[in-house]
Structure 1
Amino acid sequence: MSELGPLGAAIPAFDTTDSAAAIAAAVRLEELGYSTLWMPGGQGDNLALVPDLVRATRRITVANGILSVDQVPAAEVATVYRALAATHPGRWLPGLGGAHGPRPLATLTAYLDELDTAVPASGRVLSALGPRMLELARDRASAAYPFLVTPDYVASARELLGAGTRLAVLVTVVAEPEPARARDLVRGGSLRFLAGVPGYAANFRRMGFTPADVADLSDRLVDGVTVHGSFDTVVARLREYRAAGADQVVVSLDGLPESWHGGLVAALG
């Protein structure tokens, strides 16, 4: 089983042909003391970089957040997993999700069935938001990996997952103490796009946000699902996620000041 540890770092999207930049980021995060490096997800395919990052580092867990099952064949994931399990056991945690189409849950279930002989449930994580996806993570993976959620959501997810499934929560962090400026920065990021994605929109409603909150990217929504402020404010908010039941908080490094890394690792790692 791959170890998550208490604090992960999600590196920004990079050119998948530039392995040197990805390797440099991985080595630096390991030096800083992060437990897990989360590679960027989406519809791209960065599977080929995984062995480079694992071999360039010594202890940090490398995870994908996430590999899209619509884009990356299960057979390719299995091949890479077998090779790394033989030489670097427990160092790679494939994160899976991104099933679309009319029956996404069935698509993901079939994908996991294909992986079972090569990648055990204890060696994979699932992107999960709604209750059915959380249940699938509980039954078919070692961890769930939600994004744009509140601490209250984390508490509910922890109850559904039970004690045996880990919960790694990706959190957008904006190092801006002025609230209005911080909210504008959040609205200019991925939240604007993801608010229109059906799965995220449905989860916002489950968390109690109104259609107007989602349509307008209201202050209430921004403050509820992202973290912004001074260093001390950010640490206090991230601790709320841990207290609610997150085994690991994963901070997005896009725009995070270099001077914050040591303090975050000391406070949360």
Structure 2
Amino acid sequence: MTRLDLGPIGVTLDVRADGGHLDHAATLEKLGYSAIWIAGGQLATLDPLREVIRATESIPVGSAIIPARVYPPEDVVALRREIEASDPGRLIAGLGGTHGERPLRTMNAYLDSLDAADPPVPAGARVLSALGPRMLELSRDRAAGALSLLVTPEFTAHARRILGERAALAVMEYVVVESDPRLARDTVRESIAFLSTVGGYPQNLRRMGFTDDDIAATSDRLIDGLVAWGGVDAVAARVRRHLDAGADQVVLGVQSTDPGAVPHAEWRALADALIG
């Protein structure tokens, strides 16, 4: 299987009820980002993936992630079949959400169904949300690679060792372009606090050296270890640490310090710094 060519800098896109995200998607493509990713929490349906692909010209669009416990394999098969007919090669099927008992068995069964479909959703067109070593191995063996969130550059190096050289690794990174420590940390504290209680995140945070107290309090130490914040140069340096550690793509989840604002200025500044 040929290694999935992700390109170095992706970006997340928030879905808006007024449809404004479709114009934002076109802007991100023009700025030179390598891929647009839509968070699974915003996928009340799979329609945003179709819509963003139709609103852009050639940029790959990924799901981060399609939760396997919400959408049966048949939905993913139908989505890819439709998109391949009009925009071949543009959908990256990011899969995950197998929290609970036997997550590996659940994901293996899901992948079996994708393989058996007519036409199948091939391994080269899918990536798996992965933090633990066995899910990373599954990403290597049964998908094009892994998608990781809430991780340090040291984790990225660890994941690369497990994935080897042929599997792709996309690292999702919260970004706050703000040099005031308190404002930057408070901008993401609620999101980090929520995610750090979900699924495999707490266990992986402990594996990375964070304490139960760090997790319970959403400590400054935890945020500083997981989030790229500061001026554009500081954020760019953090992104490059992930790339140097083995990430194929760093996906920028840019958070505005103004709640609800669209981070147009930050997108442009980061594109200038990281894409040129």
Class of the TM-score when normalised by the shorter of the 2 chains? over 0.9
Question: C-alpha displacement at 1:13, in angstroms?
Answer: 4.4
AA matched with 1:61: P
The equivalent of 2:147 in structure 1 is: 145
Identity of aligned residues (%): 48
Give distance in 2, aligned partners of 1:62 and 1:43. Answer: 14
Give distance in 2, aligned partners of 1:43 and 1:51. Answer: 14
The equivalent of 1:254 in structure 2 is: 255
Give distance in 2, aligned partners of 1:258 and 1:52. Answer: 20
AA matched with 2:213: A
User: Is contact 2:137-2:162 (8 Å) kept?
Assistant: yes
Give distance in 1, aligned partners of 2:161 and 2:28. Answer: 31
2:9 aligned with 1:10, yes or no? no
User: Is contact 1:64-1:93 (8 Å) kept?
Assistant: yes
The equivalent of 2:97 in structure 1 is: 98
Secondary structure of 1:208 counterpart? coil
The equivalent of 2:137 in structure 1 is: 135
Give unpaired runs (5+ residues) of structure 1.
none
Pairs within 5 Å for 1:81-92 = 81-92=80-91
2:192 aligned with 1:191, yes or no? yes
Pairs within 5 Å for 1:109-258 = 109-116=108-115, 117=117, 118-188=120-190, 190-255=191-256, 257-258=263-264
Secondary structure of 1:4 counterpart? coil
AA matched with 2:274: L
User: Is contact 1:45-1:71 (8 Å) kept?
Assistant: no
User: Is contact 2:15-2:48 (8 Å) kept?
Assistant: no
CA-atom RMSD in angstroms: 1.7
Higher mean displacement: 36-45 or 107-116: 36-45
Question: C-alpha displacement at 1:233, in angstroms?
Answer: 0.8
Q: What is the TM-score with the length of structure 1 in the denominator? A: 0.92
Q: What is the TM-score with the length of structure 2 in the denominator? A: 0.90
Give distance in 2, aligned partners of 1:139 and 1:187. Answer: 35
Give distance in 2, aligned partners of 1:102 and 1:6. Answer: 34
Give distance in 1, aligned partners of 2:184 and 2:269. Answer: 20
Give distance in 1, aligned partners of 2:178 and 2:268. Answer: 18
Question: C-alpha displacement at 1:41, in angstroms?
Answer: 1.2
CA deviation string 1:30-55 (max 9, x = no partner): 11111100012137433123222222
User: Is contact 1:96-1:126 (8 Å) kept?
Assistant: yes
User: Is contact 1:43-1:71 (8 Å) kept?
Assistant: no
Give unpaired runs (5+ residues) of structure 2.
257-261
Give distance in 2, aligned partners of 1:43 and 1:102. Answer: 24
AA matched with 2:84: A
